[in-house]
Amino acid sequence: MERLLKEFIYFLSVERGLASNTLESYQRDLRKFFLFLRKKGISKVESITRAVIIDFLAEQRERGLASSTLTRNLAAIRSFYQFLLREQITTVNPAMELETPKAEKKLPVVLSLSEIELLLDQPDPGNTAGLRDSAMLELLYATGMRVSELVSLDVSSVNMKMGFVKCHGKGNKERIIPMGSVAIRSVQEYLRNSRLKMLKAREEKALFVNQQGTRLTRQGFWKILKKYAHKAGIQTDITPHTLRHSFATHLLENGADLRSVQEMLGHADIATTQIYTHVARRKIKDVYNQTHPRA
């Protein structure tokens, strides 16, 4: 089986051109499977049945592995068998009809209103980078945009007079989102007193630029957010998506209807938006438990 694994990895590398990290992942998952087979006394591909693979996955689950890891393990086994079928080493794929393990639905991480305010207060309005960072954070929380949508904005994407921003989401679908008065003022301040200085006479249509005067990247924003979260003393391990989650949850907590939140987030299916109602309900329950004398 080790020989077959080497041939499989070679095939993935040469024929399909997969990245080294992906190849290492396949190797790691299949070697774990082969170790399980050795313990069971199975040494031939033909002896591996659907029941054997189910037992392997069950053992991994008992060890506390996440559903995402089990899904990846099963995908590696399926791909290995597809290779064996292609090479006519076997005539069956016992992993083909197995159901993919269901992923646990985790509630999104959401910051409290006080944490949001603390985070938004961190940028220094006394320098050009601080004005830009304040505008980005305010706009992200005010609109619930994805970070990829934020850094893709051009100057023409924001309409200060009407108070909305136009962005392009997944599938290049365009949507228009209200900005809010605080975000409008923050973006105006950035445009008046920071952006031109950062451009250094460059021609650039991007709304948010870096110190070199070119469009800020997702990675660049990630570093900025991490810096301010650390500075604010926020213990939660936040990502740019945390502000999107917080935007949606805070709207629902304050009475917004689900359809409006769905439209602002750009979700194709309202079921995706409904996860935030669970977060809001959980918070109500926490407040009850903490404040009711007979909770």
Which entry of 146, 195, 245, 250 is annotated as an active-site residue? 146
174-178, strands of its sheet edge to edge: 158-159, 164-168, 174-178
- Token digits of residue 115: 């944490």
Beta-bridge mates of residue 65: none
Consecutive H or E run containing 164: strand 164-168
267 is catalytic: yes
276 included as an active-site residue: yes
Selected catalytic residue, list 132, 195, 244, 250: 244
Q: Please provide residue 129's backbone torsions phi and psi, each rounded to the nearest 5 degrees.
A: -65, -40
What are the Cα distances from residue 144, in Å, to 180, 265, 268, 295?
12, 6, 15, 34
Exactly one of 195, 245, 250, 267 is catalytic; which is it? 267
Find, among 130, 109, 119, 117, the residue nearest to 189 by Cα: 130
d(CA 198, CA 213): 5
Active-site residue (options: 16, 170, 218, 285):
170
- Given 175, 185, 226, 241, the catalytic residue: 241
Phi, then psi, of 89 in degrees rounded to 5: -85, -25
Determine whether 28 is an active site residue. Answer: no
Alpha-carbon gap, residue 5 to 245, rounded angstroms: 42
Largest CA distance in the chain: 73
The residue with tokens 């900025």 is 224
Does residue 170 carry a catalytic annotation? Answer: yes
Say whether 190 is catalytic: no
**Catalytic residue status for 3:** no
Query: Which residues are annotated as catalytic?
Result: 146, 170, 241, 244, 267, 276
